[in-house]
Amino acid sequence: MRISITSASLQPFSVEQWGMHQQQIVRTKRKRAVTIHVADSQGNRLTGASVLVQQISKDFPLGSAIANTILGNSVYQVFAADCMCIFLLFLYKGEFAHWDVNNEMLHFNFYEQRLGPNASLDFFNTAQLADPLATLFMNEFNVIETCEDIFSSVDSYVSRLKDLKAGGALLEGIGLEGHFSKPNIPLMRATLDKLATLGLPIWFTEVDINNHYDQQAQALYLDEVLREAFSHPSVNGIMLWTALHRNGCYQMCLTDWNLQNLPAGDAVDKLLSEWETKQVGGMTDEHGSFSFAGFLGEYSVHVTYGNRSTEATLSLPQGDETRHLNVQV
């Protein structure tokens, strides 16, 4: 099938307009409306009940890689030797949520050169059989960071993912490393939109900013990258490549050796605070209801009416409809 474009247009956006669009996506995809209904044991709606809601966990994972200094630990060395004797997938069956089955396949074909053209496909099939509960990923660099790498364009990534699926691989996730210089945010958006057409969850797996920028610039660019990633509905999590070890960090540290925040650490803490529901509370209305909008995750709910009180938990998954919780006091 050939598609010809007969007309095209470009729409300029200001930085402010782009940020407003990000916030709109966050409000509609990362948050959800909640209404808590309070009643007595006879089912009578209670007006003026006190409701206190606290978020206790977040639905969106944002974390960091750990240092490799544990490799010098003698206990770990014994453990690692044992791992070599037992196939890793069986040893950790059910323990890991995600497996990066064959890393950076667009840039390197080490196994295909030695084991044949179907090596990666065989790896995926073996991993699926060994640990059927794990989500199997392909992971790659320079897909989201730049358009100058001829080996890892978004089109080549989509093609490789489709080839694996056509070959029978149960490929369930897309990994984007995210080793950025100065980020190109419109390129990020376009790349994410195209990858999202595959209907697979997307994770940023190794996010950092090149250290040829000073710490303030790193923090600024990191903020831009994290905001764009968080505001795309197909992105399910972010891992930072900021492990602090004996030789420092790969490109960017969040803290100094005394675990005091550097500018990048301040940027992450600011976003973590921004992307959580603060403690909210109030009184039920004439219908016995109290409403709020919260970030996806788990909540504790404390309700008091007169000399009676009760506690409940609320799970807030993604959804377009208002989440309702009935509480009896």
In this structure, are 321 and 176 located in the same domain? no
Domain identity same for 165 and 181: yes
Are residues 160 and 226 both part of a single domain?
yes
Q: Radius of gyration (Cα) for the chain, nearest Å?
A: 24
73: pLDDT confidence band, cut at 50, 70 and 90?
A: low
**Same structural domain, 311 and 196:** no
Q: How many domains does the chain have?
A: 2
Closest CA to 232 of 15, 28, 33: 28
- The stretch 240-263 carries a mean pLDDT of 92
One domain, residues 207 and 89: yes
Residue 79 sits in a domain of what CATH number?
3.20.20.80
Q: Are residues 154 and 290 in the same domain?
A: no
Give the global pTM. 0.87
Look at residue 25 and tell me if it is in a domain. Answer: no
156 & 265 share domain: yes
Across the chain, what does the average pLDDT equal? Answer: 91
Q: Are residues 269 and 295 in the same domain?
A: no
pLDDT of 165-193, one tens digit each? 999 999 999 999 999 999 999 999 999 99
> Mean pLDDT lowest for which of 43-47, 110-114, 138-142, 267-271?
110-114
Q: What Cα–Cα distance (Å) separates residue 282 from each residue in 12, 170, 309?
A: 42, 47, 15
Structure tokens at 144: 């989201």
At 75 the pLDDT is 55
Beta strands of the chain (E only): which ranges?
31-39, 50-58, 62-64, 98-100, 135-140, 173-176, 179-180, 202-209, 235-240, 280-283, 289-295, 297-305, 308-316, 323-328
Q: Is 11 part of a structural domain of the chain?
A: no
pLDDT tens profile 217-235: 999 999 999 999 999 999 9
The answer to whether position 316 is within a domain reads yes
Q: Can you give the pLDDT at residue 246?
A: 81
**Both 171 and 118 in a single domain?**
yes
Residue-wise pLDDT tens digits, 278-321: 999 999 999 999 999 999 999 999 999 999 999 999 999 999 99
Q: Is pLDDT at 163 greater than 80 in this prediction? A: yes
Of 41 and 246, more confident:
41
Looking at the fold, whether 241 and 258 belong to one and the same domain comes out as yes
Helix, strand, coil in percent for the chain, rounding step 5: 35, 25, 40
| Same domain? 76 vs 194 | yes
pLDDT for residue 84 is more than 60: no
Across the strands, what pairs with 308? 305
Residues 94 and 223 in one domain: yes
- pLDDT for 108 equals 86
Does the residue 8 lie in any domain?
A: no
Question: Contact, 311 vs 301, CB < 8 A?
Answer: yes
Q: Is 162 within a domain?
A: yes
Q: Is residue 26 included in any domain, yes or no?
A: no
Q: So which residues are the catalytic ones?
A: 104, 206
Q: Is residue 47 in some structural domain?
A: yes
Q: What is the CATH number of the domain that holds 308?
A: 2.60.40.10
Residue 10 placed within a domain? no
Q: Dihedral sign, CA of 256, 61, 93, 140?
A: negative
Residue type, 151: F
pLDDT in tens, 26-57: 999 999 999 999 999 999 999 999 999 999 99
Q: Residue 323: give the domain boundaries.
A: 32-57+277-328
